Amino acid sequence: MYRVVITGAESTGKTTLAEQLRAHFEAPCSPEFVRDFVEANDRPIRIEDLNSIMKGQIEYENTACNKSPRLVLHDTNLLSNAIYAEYYFKQTPRELASAISATQYNLYLFCQNEIPWQEDGAQRDGPEVRDKIHQAFEQMLEESPVPVVQIKGSPEDRFHQAIIAIRECFSRGTN
């Protein structure tokens, strides 16, 4: 099974790209758990929520993986949880760090932050925070053993770049 993560800071087109790729490849896609968590709780995230968010994200990813032996897409993953936990709470729970190292992915599609920032209720803080978070993603992904492809440009360019990257991942046999 090939697991491809669409990742990046807030308001970088991850969900749009994930949905396009899901339809194109007819592959399951795990949604971003924290989005559902924020909507369901209608309050800012607290440090004591981090383990619940981690478990929810893992459950979403596992559910998607159970739907396909070939390709699974993830609209973010635990790496996002770790970056945001570090940014907002200045810590990453041990359980989260362990879960990240225990999960195998084949490719990160790293959405760049050049598209206009869009408000999305309580989930987004602003373009300045997005830029800081983007830098944190850059640093974490530089250290990742998983291949990373930067996705940028127009929505059409992003979609085509992602398709090419996924096909190349398949052709390399990275599994």
The CATH number of residue 90's host domain is 3.40.50.300
Residues 36 and 140: beta-carbon distance below 8 Å: no
Residue with tokens 């032996």: 69
Q: Tens of pLDDT along 85-141?
A: 999 999 988 899 899 888 899 999 999 999 887 776 655 577 788 899 999 999 999
Residue 163 pLDDT greater than 70, yes or no: yes
Q: Give the Cα-Cα-Cα angle 30, 51, 144 (nearest 5 degrees).
A: 60
When computed from its CA atoms, the radius of gyration of the chain, rounded to whole angstroms, is 15
CB within 8 Å of 145: residues ≥ 6 apart:
none
Residue with tokens 């949604």: 31
Residue with tokens 């981090």: 50
pTM confidence score: 0.92
| Residue of higher predicted confidence among 44 and 57 | 57
**Structural domain of residue 52, as residue ranges?**
2-172
Neighbours of 97 (CB within 10 A): 13
Between the CA atoms of 8, 9, 11 and 13, what dihedral angle is there, to the nearest 10 degrees?
0
| Residue of higher predicted confidence among 175 and 142 | 142
Residues 87 and 34: beta-carbon distance below 8 Å: no
Tell me the residue type at 62: N
pLDDT given at position 171: 86
Q: Count up the domains in the chain and report the number.
A: 1
**DSSP 8-state secondary structure symbol assigned to residue 105:** -
pLDDT given at position 121: 60
In the chain, which residue ranges form alpha helices assigned H by DSSP?
14-25, 33-41, 50-65, 78-89, 94-102, 127-142, 155-172
Percent of the chain with pLDDT over 90: 75
CA distance linking residue 158 with residue 114, whole number of Å: 12
pLDDT given at position 48: 94
CA distance linking residue 34 with residue 54, whole number of Å: 9
